[in-house]
Amino acid sequence: HEEYFFEELAKIYMKAERYKDAVKLADWYYRTDTTSNKALRLKVQALYSMQSTEECVEVAKHLAKRDTLSQYPEVNYYVGQLMMSQIDSLVVPTNMFSEEFKETTKRRKAICSAARPYLERYRSLNPQDSEKWAPFLYKIYLELNLGKEFEDICKILQ
């Protein structure tokens, strides 16, 4: 009975854009059933809609690790997309010999390396959604200087 009411209430909250209530509901349901990936998924969707980036990435990574049956492939996209959004705020200085240049470049590569497995997993689970994953993988492969992967993604984007 609880699962049915949880799912119905989740739909109502998300449709009404009551994301904080959806997070509370997800937390409550997860406390009653710590095996519930549905509760984690609801929390990820609500946090994503609220643009709570850090918490969303944390919960989505946890769900992606637990989702061995790949029932919720979109959580991989959320992780990758939100991580890659951090890159836009990292402006690379023009002086390539400066310490700031080295640090910024290092940080951009670290973000790309961390986002890569999630976006590649999303790609393998949703190959038809290339308009979502291809631009991010293009950026990642370019930033990480991955020639073969970069050439493959360029063919997809043409």
- Per-residue pLDDT of 43-100, as tens digits, reads 999 999 999 999 999 999 999 999 999 999 999 999 999 999 999 889 889 999 999 9
Q: Give the mean model confidence (pLDDT) for residues 104-118.
A: 97
Distant-in-sequence, close-in-space partners of 133: CB < 8 Å, separation ≥ 6:
77, 80, 119, 122, 123, 126
Q: Give the mean model confidence (pLDDT) for residues 144-154.
A: 95
Q: Give the mean model confidence (pLDDT) for residues 14-31.
A: 98
Q: Give the mean model confidence (pLDDT) for residues 10-18.
A: 98
Q: Give the mean model confidence (pLDDT) for residues 89-116.
A: 94
Four-residue CA torsion sign, 39, 41, 44, 47: negative
Q: Give the mean model confidence (pLDDT) for residues 9-36.
A: 97
Strand residue runs (E) in the chain: none
Residue-level pLDDT at 52: 96
Residue-level pLDDT at 89: 87
Residue-level pLDDT at 18: 98
Residue-level pLDDT at 88: 85
